[in-house]
Each structure stands twice: as C-alpha cells, then as structure tokens.
C-alpha cells in the first residue's frame, strides 16, 4: 500500500472510512487494531472523530474541495494566534505564511492549496507561520486530500507540527 486516506463512507454520510491505496490508486479498507475496532463496533462516527481531534495537542483542520476551512481544532487557534473563520478562510488557518528562507507564500500557493489543486498528498516541506501579533512559528504541514467512495475530491485534512 502506498498511502492512506480518509474517505466519506458510501453507506453513511456522517461516517468516514480510513482506506489504504494500492499502487494503482484502488482503495481497500484500512484494518483497525482488533481492540479498537471491537470497542467501536468497527465504526467511527464523525462526532467521535471530532472529539478525538479536538483533544490532540497539535493543529488539525480540514477544508472542503474549494479550500474553505470547515473544521479546526483548538490547537489550531493556539498555533495561528487567531480564530479562523469557518467557510470564509481558505487553504490555511495561519494569518501569513513564509518559506523557511523568509519569502511570503500566498495562501493560494501554500501546501494545502497545492494538495487540493493537484489532488495529492504533500510531504517533505516546511514553512513559517506568522501570527497577527508578529510571532513567527516554524512548522511542517501534512496536507492530505479527502475523497468520497468514488474517488472524487471532497476536501482535505491538514496536520501542522511544530518543533518540540
């Protein structure tokens, strides 16, 4: 398997399925550890997933297929130093983004925008976010497209990790 993706369930629109993609891009269900699957009956609801994501200590957010932010966890607010505007902010929770060399990266050229535009996972890049108060925070993004059961891009998920 080459990568994993989170896809909206074909049977239940409120549930997402974690799938693995083979080298041809075909998806198969990702096998949860037996104990976890048994505890949840094999299903993870959107509400349960959001409760878990809200508790994680690193910034996580998701967008729709047009790049509009549709979810962010509390750690995203701390990371960005601002409250993102659901449905209005696009591509990123950060106020401003810079390359590690200090060049401005327009939001529509940030790693999340590239992941959505090209429909691919982006890895191996680093950037610097600037908060409205001027504090700059280096980070590594992990933008990952979200596809429905038919492979259509419906959004993306991003995790922003900062150095320890």
- Among 11-15, 117-121, 136-140, the minimum mean pLDDT is found in 11-15
Q: Which comes out higher in pLDDT, residue 71 or 48?
A: 71
End-to-end Cα spacing for the chain: 30
CB 73 within 8 A of CB 61: yes
Q: Is the predicted pLDDT of residue 28 greater than 80, yes or no? A: no
More confident residue, 113 or 29: 113
Write down the pLDDT at residue 17: 46
Average pLDDT over residues 101-117: 97
The answer for residues whose C-beta is within 8 angstroms of residue 149's C-beta and 6 or more apart is: 7, 8, 9, 10, 17
pTM for the whole structure = 0.72
Per-residue pLDDT, averaged over 42-61, amounts to: 79
Average pLDDT, the chain: 81
What pLDDT was estimated at residue 153?
94
Position 117 pLDDT exceeds 90: yes
Please say whether the beta carbons of 59 and 93 come within 8 A.
yes
Q: Which domains does the chain have, with CATH numbers?
A: 46-161 (3.30.450.20)
Percent of the chain with pLDDT over 90: 60
pLDDT for the residue 87: 87
What secondary structure, in 3-state letters, does 126-157 show? CEEEECCCCCEEEEEECCEEEECCCCCEEEEE
Whether the per-residue pLDDT at 35 is higher than 60: the answer is no
Mean pLDDT of 7-32: 49
CA 35, 156, 64 angle in degrees (round to 5)? Answer: 120
Confidence of residue 11 (pLDDT cuts 50, 70, 90): low
């Amino acid at each position: 398997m080459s990568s994993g993706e989170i896809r909206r369930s074909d049977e239940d629109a409120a549930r997402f399925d974690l799938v693995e993609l083979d080298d041809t891009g075909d998806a198969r269900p990702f096998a949860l550890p037996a104990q976890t699957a048994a505890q949840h009956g094999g299903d993870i609801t959107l509400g349960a997933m959001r409760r878990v994501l809200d508790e994680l200590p690193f910034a996580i957010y998701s967008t729709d297929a047009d790049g509009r932010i549709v979810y962010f966890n509390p750690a995203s607010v701390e990371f960005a130093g601002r409250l993102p505007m659901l449905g209005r902010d696009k591509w990123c929770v950060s106020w401003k983004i810079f390359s590690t060399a200090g060049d401005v990266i327009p939001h529509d050229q940030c790693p999340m925008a590239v992941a959505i535009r090209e429909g691919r996972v982006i890895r191996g890049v680093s950037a610097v976010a600037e908060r409205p108060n001027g504090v700059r925070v280096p980070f590594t993004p992990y933008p990952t497209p979200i596809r429905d059961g038919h492979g259509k891009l419906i959004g993306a998920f991003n995790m922003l990790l900062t150095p320890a």
